[in-house]
């Protein structure tokens, strides 16, 4: 068992990792992710879209896997992509799903993704690192692995020209982690009042103590500066 985040091996997510990462998320991500639990989603509900999405995250070049060198097991993953002015959303395809729960999930994610128009708000930004899913198993918790995964993805994003990083943080642990890393909250979606077609969609008893989702972001060029909007 690793003793710290720095003792792990970090590498880019590859096509060879897809099935392993999908199984890893089924075991460690969905059971602890409030939007999925609050919608009573199972892995079977997510199975329809997740394989294709993981392959998209492979192509992004900013998704990272952490592996325990003592046993070769995955100790964490961060799935991420790069948004551009020509491709500024990632969830539209799943909105066509015939499954109500899948459409509901991606409606929520699309609302979050569209809540802040970063390209209008920050005119100097042309490429955005979007952190989509961060997973660290409970047995590897408390070692700073989540922080290291975010930093590894950010490093790759900067190398590929990203000037800003953002995340739709749907759970309290990820919100706290990103705040510690200097991310600012730019939008909050209240789970208790969120509705689709006039109906509330979340079972708050299944939200794992998370009352809201937050859109968070920070500039990558200077870690000491907060986000600065262009003067219009």
pLDDT at 194 over 80: yes
The CATH number of the domain holding residue 138 is 3.40.630.30
Measured between alpha carbons, how far is 5 from 141 in angstroms, rounded to an integer? 10
- Asked, for residue 110, whether it belongs to a domain, the answer is yes
Measured between alpha carbons, how far is 214 from 160 in angstroms, rounded to an integer? 25
Measured between alpha carbons, how far is 138 from 5 in angstroms, rounded to an integer? 14
- Asked, for residue 175, whether it belongs to a domain, the answer is yes
Are 149 and 66 in contact by the 8 Å Cβ rule? The answer is yes
Cα separations (Å) of 173 from 25, 134, 142? 16, 10, 11
- Asked, for residue 87, whether it belongs to a domain, the answer is yes
- Asked, for residue 20, whether it belongs to a domain, the answer is yes
Token code pair at residue 79? 């799935």
Q: What is the pLDDT of residue 96?
A: 65
- Asked, for residue 202, whether it belongs to a domain, the answer is yes
pLDDT at 90 over 80: no
Number of domains forming the structure of the chain: 1
- Asked, for residue 231, whether it belongs to a domain, the answer is no
Taking only the tens place, the pLDDT of each residue in 30-66 is: 999 999 999 999 888 888 788 888 888 999 999 999 9
Q: What is the pLDDT of residue 53?
A: 86
Q: What is the pLDDT of residue 223?
A: 44
Q: What is the pLDDT of residue 48?
A: 74
Q: How confident is the model at residue 91 (pLDDT cuts 50, 70, 90)?
A: low
Range of the domain at 23: 5-219
**Model pTM score:** 0.91
Q: What is the pLDDT of residue 229?
A: 55
What is the DSSP track for 160-221? Answer: TT--EEEEEE-SHHHHHHHHHTTPEEEEEEETTT-EETTEE---GGGSTT--EEEEEEEESS
Report the share of the chain in percent with pLDDT over 90: 75
Average per-residue pLDDT for the chain = 90
Question: How wide is the angle at C-alpha 148 spanned by C-alphas 18 and 105, nearest 5°?
Answer: 50
pLDDT at 100 over 50: yes
pLDDT at 225 over 70: no
- Asked, for residue 156, whether it belongs to a domain, the answer is yes
Q: How confident is the model at residue 201 (pLDDT cuts 50, 70, 90)?
A: very high
Q: What is the pLDDT of residue 93?
A: 56
Measured between alpha carbons, how far is 103 from 209 in angstroms, rounded to an integer? 24
Token code pair at residue 173? 């642990």
Pairwise pLDDT comparison (90 vs 205), residue with the higher score = 205
Taking only the tens place, the pLDDT of each residue in 102-161 is: 889 888 998 999 999 999 999 999 999 999 999 999 999 999 999 999 999 999 999 999
Lowest-confidence segment of 100-109, 126-135, 203-212, 223-232 by average pLDDT: 223-232
């Amino acid at each position: 068992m690793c003793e710290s985040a720095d003792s792990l091996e970090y590498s880019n997510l590859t096509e060879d990792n897809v099935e392993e990462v999908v199984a890893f998320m089924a075991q460690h991500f969905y059971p602890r992710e409030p939007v999925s639990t609050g919608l009573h989603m199972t892995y079977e509900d997510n199975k329809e879209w997740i394989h294709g999405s993981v392959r998209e995250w492979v192509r992004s070049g900013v998704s990272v896997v952490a592996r325990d060198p003592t046993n070769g097991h995955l100790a964490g993953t961060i799935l991420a992509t790069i948004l551009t002015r020509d491709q500024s959303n990632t969830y539209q395809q799943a909105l066509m799903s015939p499954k109500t729960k899948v459409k509901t999930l991606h409606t929520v994610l699309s609302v979050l993704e569209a809540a802040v128009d970063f390209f209008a708000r920050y005119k100097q930004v042309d490429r955005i690192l979007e952190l989509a899913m961060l997973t660290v198993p409970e047995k590897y918790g408390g070692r700073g692995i989540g922080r290291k995964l975010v930093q590894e993805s950010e490093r790759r994003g900067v190398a590929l020209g990203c000037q800003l990083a953002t995340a739709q943080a749907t759970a309290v642990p990820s919100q706290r982690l990103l705040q510690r890393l200097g991310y600012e909250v730019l939008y909050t979606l209240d789970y208790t009042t969120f509705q689709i077609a006039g109906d509330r969609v979340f079972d708050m008893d299944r939200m794992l103590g998370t009352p809201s989702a937050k859109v968070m972001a920070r500039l990558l060029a200077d870690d000491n500066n907060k986000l600065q909007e262009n003067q219009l």
